[in-house]
Structure 1
Amino acid sequence: MIEITLVLPFALPPPELAPDLVRALQAPGLAALLSRTSANRALAADSDARALPHELWLGRAIGLCDGRRLAFAAAAMRGFGLDPAGGAWMIVNPAHIEISRTYLMMGDTRRLGLVDSHSRALFDSAKPYFDDSGHTLLYGDAHTWFMRAGAWAALDTASPDATGGMNLTDWLPQGEHALDYRKLQNEVQMLWHQHPANVEREARGWPAINSFWPWGAADAGDMPSAPFACAGSPPWLSAIAQQHGSFAGLLAGADNPALFCDGRLAEAALATDWAGWLQHMQQLDQDTFMPLLDAVTSGRAARARLVLSHRNALAEFTTSAMAQRKFWRRPTLDRLLP
């Protein structure tokens, strides 16, 4: 029998909306998994962390987290067929930053509509500036570039999703070389202003790519210590994963402990699209929670652990066939409430 761990970023509704969302949610599979458990615990987010709770949990689970610092870059590079030899590297995400008189805000990179032709053109124009500064730039895909970090590996950086909806001023890279980073950022921002790719993007109603976001510094030797699979996840995480596809496919073929991260809720949650969030949750109940419940109750899975999160907290729920026999526990979604 196998053990399954299912990580679901943003499956915990935000506390202020949880009563209304739980009342509207129809998810009997999830209700059974959450109500009839052998163990559960809730963890508040680290107030000093510059990453989301599920990112830190996953980083620690696969051995790519040093304390509260995520170290994903080298593993992601290998996933894109790039060689991270020669020191530390950082993930670089092309970004759109909204600038006003009182705040900076970075949009969700999932919603950029960034196609390869535009990304390549912007990359090619910026690469000499990175290379001349000693921070070689390499291309992974439209959303994912890589930069040789050098001394910038010591910068205290934040993951892109951690900045969602926040004043970016509080999340900019910090440390001894932060001024050097900002200098390169300013040069690239000026270069990309009125760049033909951005002119075309704005004409089509897409946001201009007016900045870049470095994070996830890692040395070449940083390798995942445990395999995992994912779906609906950002390209950098998909590049690290050893398996892709549906949860049902993983469940059918698993013969060892399996870890699966499903990121389908993230875009709706970051956009505060709660109608979309409910739709995704109910789809998850059909294609993920109910099959997992069946695997547990039939004995095909010895144990199942759900790791659910929102921006400020994470909760773990463990169930088994024996726990599911606790018929006196009425299935309910109340454990999604704060």
Structure 2
Amino acid sequence: MSDTNHLLIPYAASAATGCQQALQGLALPHLDRLLARLSPHPTHSDSGEETSFSAPHERALARALGLPAQDGRIPWAAWHRHQQVQSPNGDAWAFVTPCQWQVSTDHVTLRNPEHLALDDAASRALLAIVSPWFAEDGITLHYDQPTRWLASSPLFADLATASLERVLQRDVRAWMPDAKAARTLHRLHSEMQMLLYTHAFNDERSERGLPVINSFWVHGTGPIPTPAPSALPTPTVPTTLRDAALNEDWRAWAAAWTALDAGPVADLLRKSEGGEPVQLTLCGERNTLAFHTAPRTLAQRFQSLFRPQRFTDMCDKL
């Protein structure tokens, strides 16, 4: 069930130079009017670092759903599994994403799996190739979708891992899980690279001009609490800013903000003006700023009239 009165916006701002330039000419009138009506929601705001394993919008969404929000330990895979079978048993799960690591002299970069043209049949064939290797270490793999499998193992019970989008197009070495706690995964990474380097699966892909797959990324680890959280409405989470930011396409990012302002943000403003309680959660790459409908003091009303807080003025806080 989606909560249309709570808008949670990932990648609302970034410290990237291209984003800062895009912000200079960005006009978001509906967002500025909405911010003038709402009050800060300190208990739903939080701060982190660009090096945090979990992105701010992931932490915010986890809290909204009643899930644990520890950095790197948000059990997205277990939650996904629970949504499928509705039978939580305390098992630890993880997502495993097949991917390509591009190795250069000073970087090991993770290429976006969405660009690998990995379809259902190819993904299932690759899963059959690598599953026995994972099984030897007590990790059971299950097919979920072409660019994401499910994995169950006690290994994931308390292992902090970086979310996939944190490491996309970046050097994976800065985002690897703790070497001692994840010794098994580190060894599996080496084994998979050796296995797949000369495997017929990749030979066939190369002949077709497709990128080879030589590694994997583990994320979304942990068990969900027992008993599982009660079903809560899911905030509305647009992904257009996220997609543009991950591709570092700041012109598209600015266009996505303009569309959001004219669409979902304008709708939330109308609800607020109509007396409905609303929530707005803005997430950057470090921090989260949350706002909600709440009684305002006379001083706050005065400030909103004569010193309105505009979105572009608060971007450095995200």
The TM-score bracket by the shorter chain reads: 0.7 to 0.9
Q: Shift of the alpha carbon at 1:317?
A: 2.7
Q: 1:228–1:18: structure 2 CA closer, same or farther, 3 Å change rule? A: same
CA distance in 2, matches of 1:324, 1:111: 49
CA distance in 1, matches of 2:15, 2:184: 37
Q: Shift of the alpha carbon at 1:84?
A: 6.4
Residue 33 of structure 2 is matched in structure 1 by 32
The one-letter amino acid of 1:297's match is E
CA distance in 2, matches of 1:294, 1:196: 58
Q: 1:281–1:224: structure 2 CA closer, same or farther, 3 Å change rule? A: farther
1:230-309, aligned counterparts within 5 Å?
Answer: 259-299=235-275, 301-302=276-277, 304-309=278-283
Question: TM-score w.r.t. structure 2 length?
Answer: 0.82
8 Å CA contact retained: 2:241, 2:257: yes
Matched, 1:189 2:190: no
For structure 1, which segment, 12-21 or 279-288, has the greater mean C-alpha deviation from structure 2 after superposition? 12-21
8 Å CA contact retained: 2:160, 2:221: no
| 1:193-213 Cα shifts (integer Å, max 9, x gaps) | 354554454456543222111
Q: What SS does the aligned partner of 2:59 have?
A: helix
Matched, 1:333 2:307: no
CA distance in 2, matches of 1:324, 1:115: 54
Matched, 1:227 2:201: no
Q: What SS does the aligned partner of 1:192 have?
A: helix
The one-letter amino acid of 1:6's match is L
Residue 316 of structure 1 is matched in structure 2 by 290
8 Å CA contact retained: 2:98, 2:217: yes
Which residue, 59, 64, 70 being the options, matches 2:62? 59
CA distance in 2, matches of 1:324, 1:6: 23
CA distance in 2, matches of 1:315, 1:15: 19
- Structure 1, unaligned runs of 5 or more: 230-258
Identity of aligned residues (%): 29
Q: Shift of the alpha carbon at 1:46?
A: 4.6
Q: Shift of the alpha carbon at 1:45?
A: 1.1
Residue 176 of structure 1 is matched in structure 2 by 180
CA distance in 2, matches of 1:115, 1:82: 28
| 1:244-282 Cα shifts (integer Å, max 9, x gaps) | xxxxxxxxxxxxxxx222222212112211011112111
Q: 1:169–1:213: structure 2 CA closer, same or farther, 3 Å change rule? A: same
8 Å CA contact retained: 1:73, 1:146: yes
Q: What SS does the aligned partner of 2:106 have?
A: coil
| 1:13-52 Cα shifts (integer Å, max 9, x gaps) | 3264555322322322122122333226664315773211
1:82-93, aligned counterparts within 5 Å?
Answer: 85=89, 87-93=91-97
Matched, 1:4 2:5: yes
For structure 1, which segment, 103-112 or 319-328, has the greater mean C-alpha deviation from structure 2 after superposition? 319-328
In the comparison of the two structures, how many residue pairs are matched?
A: 306
1:193-212, aligned counterparts within 5 Å?
Answer: 193-199=197-203, 201-202=205-206, 206-212=210-216
8 Å CA contact retained: 2:19, 2:250: no
- Structure 2, unaligned runs of 5 or more: none
Q: 1:286–1:199: structure 2 CA closer, same or farther, 3 Å change rule? A: farther
Q: 1:65–1:207: structure 2 CA closer, same or farther, 3 Å change rule? A: farther
CA distance in 2, matches of 1:204, 1:282: 40
Matched, 1:102 2:100: no
RMSD of the TM alignment (CA)? Answer: 3.1
Which structure is higher in strand share?
A: 1
CA distance in 2, matches of 1:331, 1:171: 36
| 1:281-310 Cα shifts (integer Å, max 9, x gaps) | 1121222111111111122x22x2221122
CA distance in 2, matches of 1:86, 1:39: 36
For structure 1, which segment, 216-225 or 24-33, has the greater mean C-alpha deviation from structure 2 after superposition? 216-225
